[in-house]
């Protein structure tokens, strides 16, 4: 089946949907049984999509988990109340006191903070590594290294990692690899084909696609699924049926949305490259981008999220740029149908293993589904505002 067809069909079997097109919202805490035998059966098979108790999910959850597995390729998929919970749930499922974690230096900032504040207090030590390290990761591995965590492309800085090089080293040493695959969504990169053990999605972003739901997923291969499932369950992670329903609904248009986001990005990247104030456009599809070769090899396409860096500027420059925009709203998150902008004037503060190579402020854009001509007009006005500052 081609991806577009898979997106339509995934997780929509009669078993869950019954006679309706969409799997309905089934809210439940208590699941009731008529006989001891039924209850025993549910208890024994509670990890296998047999209704048992609301925290383990209902058909709404089971169908969505199956859809993510069908698209992303995992053996099982646990659901979480947000992407950050999927990250903590996956890390806590596999790390113990005394373990060592290798964390990519360009990780989403709250992932770093989780390592520095929560995991450190549990006696788990983190070493940050250069996103471009590739097979050189071997030199950082210690006898107690238990997990290598990847995020590709990295948050804000957008480097694309050599995932297969890292997973090959990890496999040979029985180290678990966890990838934040949110940028790719479940369709632009197939993490399990690249040797990853656990793949995380902040479904809040492109899967939901409408900026109105918080949801996370963590999928694992057959070897690691039982532990991920049980530990996440014991830590109490679960998601609301209503949110899962909305995510499943968003999923059906993921392919067409991503294709349009990517189409809209292209003229905007070209336009930005021509602006004299722009030092660099950080987009994996550009030939000089760090990890471009891995991007061409491992991804089937792009989306609407990338960054660019100004040659010079400070907080005033950023303020002049972002205040007064009509289409690009300032706000956290991304992956909805609308355009967003966010700025960072101190990228070095988010890194410890590598030196950030640029002096000027970074702006991250999410290019929505508006007409790119209108978005370029908005950006042109923002550039004019910073020109007037001089």
Ligand X SMILES: Cc1ncc(COP(=O)(O)O)c(C=O)c1O
Positions in the binding site for ligand X (CB under 6 A):
82-84, 108, 155, 180, 182, 202, 204, 214, 216, 333
Q: Which of 12, 46, 205, 257 is catalytic?
A: 205
Cβ proximity to ligand X: between 254 and 386 the closer is 254
Q: Which of 80, 108, 149, 233 is catalytic?
A: 108
Per the CB < 8 A criterion, the answer to whether 157 and 284 are in contact is: no
Give min distance, CB of 381 to ligand X, in A. Answer: 27
Give min distance, CB of 249 to ligand X, in A. Answer: 17
Per the CB < 8 A criterion, the answer to whether 217 and 200 are in contact is: yes
User: What distance in Å separates the CA atoms of residue 286 and residue 282, rounded to the nearest whole number?
Assistant: 8
Cβ proximity to ligand X: between 185 and 221 the closer is 185
Q: Which of 53, 55, 329, 337 is catalytic?
A: 55
What one-character DSSP code corresponds to residue 25? P
Which residue's CB comes closest to ligand X? 83
For residue 33, with 0-12 CB atoms within 10 Å meaning exposed, 13-18 middle and 19 or more buried, which class applies?
middle
Q: Render 216-255 in DSSP notation, one character per residue.
A: EEEEE-TTTHHHHHHHHHHTT----HHHHHHHHHHHTTHH
Closest CA to 285 of 266, 311, 258, 261: 266
Q: 108 catalytic, yes or no? A: yes
Give min distance, CB of 380 to ligand X, in A. Answer: 27
Cβ proximity to ligand X: between 151 and 277 the closer is 151
For the packed helices 315-322 and 372-389, what is the interaxial angle rounded to 10 degrees?
140
Cβ proximity to ligand X: between 81 and 255 the closer is 81
Residue with tokens 């964390």: 103
Q: Hey, how many other C-beta atoms are within 10 angstroms of the C-beta on 158?
A: 26
Q: 180 catalytic, yes or no? A: yes
Q: Which of 180, 197, 243, 298 is catalytic?
A: 180
Give min distance, CB of 74 to ligand X, in A. Answer: 17
Give min distance, CB of 200 to ligand X, in A. Answer: 7
Residue with tokens 């959850």: 61
Element (H, E) at 344: strand 340-344
User: What distance in Å separates the CA atoms of residue 284 and residue 266, rounded to the nearest whole number?
Assistant: 12
Here the tokens at position 134 are: 């590739």
Cβ proximity to ligand X: between 82 and 150 the closer is 82
Give min distance, CB of 201 to ligand X, in A. Answer: 8
Cβ proximity to ligand X: between 202 and 325 the closer is 202
User: What distance in Å separates the CA atoms of residue 45 and residue 38, rounded to the nearest whole number?
Assistant: 11
User: What distance in Å separates the CA atoms of residue 57 and residue 174, rounded to the nearest whole number?
Assistant: 31
Which are the catalytic amino acids? 55, 108, 180, 205
């Amino acid at each position: 089946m081609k991806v577009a067809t898979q997106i339509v069909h995934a997780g929509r079997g009669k078993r869950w949907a019954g006679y309706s097109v969409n799997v309905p919202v089934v809210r439940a805490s208590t699941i009731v049984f008529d006989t001891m035998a039924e209850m025993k059966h549910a208890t024994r098979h509670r990890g296998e999509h047999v209704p048992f108790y609301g925290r383990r999910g209902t058909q709404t959850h089971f169908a969505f988990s199956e859809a993510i597995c069908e698209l992303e390729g995992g053996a099982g998929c646990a659901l979480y109340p947000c992407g950050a919970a999927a990250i903590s749930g996956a890390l806590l499922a596999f790390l113990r006191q005394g373990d060592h974690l290798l964390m990519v230096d360009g990780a989403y900032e709250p992932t770093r903070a989780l390592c520095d504040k929560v995991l450190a207090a549990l006696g788990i030590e983190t070493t940050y590594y250069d996103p471009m390290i590739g097979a050189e990761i071997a030199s950082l591995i210690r006898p107690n290294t238990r997990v290598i965590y990847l995020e590709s492309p990295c948050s804000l800085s957008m480097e694309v990692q050599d995932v297969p090089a890292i997973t090959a080293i990890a496999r040979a040493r029985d180290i678990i690899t966890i990838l934040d695959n949110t940028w790719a969504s479940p369709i632009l990169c197939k993490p399990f084909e690249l040797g990853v053990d656990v793949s995380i999605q902040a479904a809040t972003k492109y899967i939901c696609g409408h900026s109105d739901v918080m949801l996370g997923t963590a999928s694992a291969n057959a070897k690691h699924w039982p532990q991920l499932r049980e530990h996440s369950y014991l830590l109490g992670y679960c998601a609301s049926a209503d949110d899962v329903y909305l995510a499943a609904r968003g999923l059906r248009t993921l392919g067409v949305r991503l294709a349009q986001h990517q189409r809209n990005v292209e003229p905007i990247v070209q336009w930005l490259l021509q602006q004299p104030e722009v030092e660099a456009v950080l987009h994996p599809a550009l030939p000089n981008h760090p990890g471009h070769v891995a991007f061409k090899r491992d991804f089937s396409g792009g989306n609407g999220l990338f960054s660019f860096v100004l040659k010079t500027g400070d907080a005033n420059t950023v303020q002049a740029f972002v205040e007064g925009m009509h289409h690009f709203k300032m706000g956290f998150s991304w992956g909805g149908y609308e355009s967003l902008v966010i700025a960072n004037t101190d990228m070095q503060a988010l890194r410890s293993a590598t030196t950030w190579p640029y002096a000027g402020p970074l702006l991250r854009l999410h290019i929505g589904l508006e007409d790119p001509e209108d978005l370029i007009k908005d950006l042109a006005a923002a550039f004019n505002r910073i020109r007037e500052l001089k």
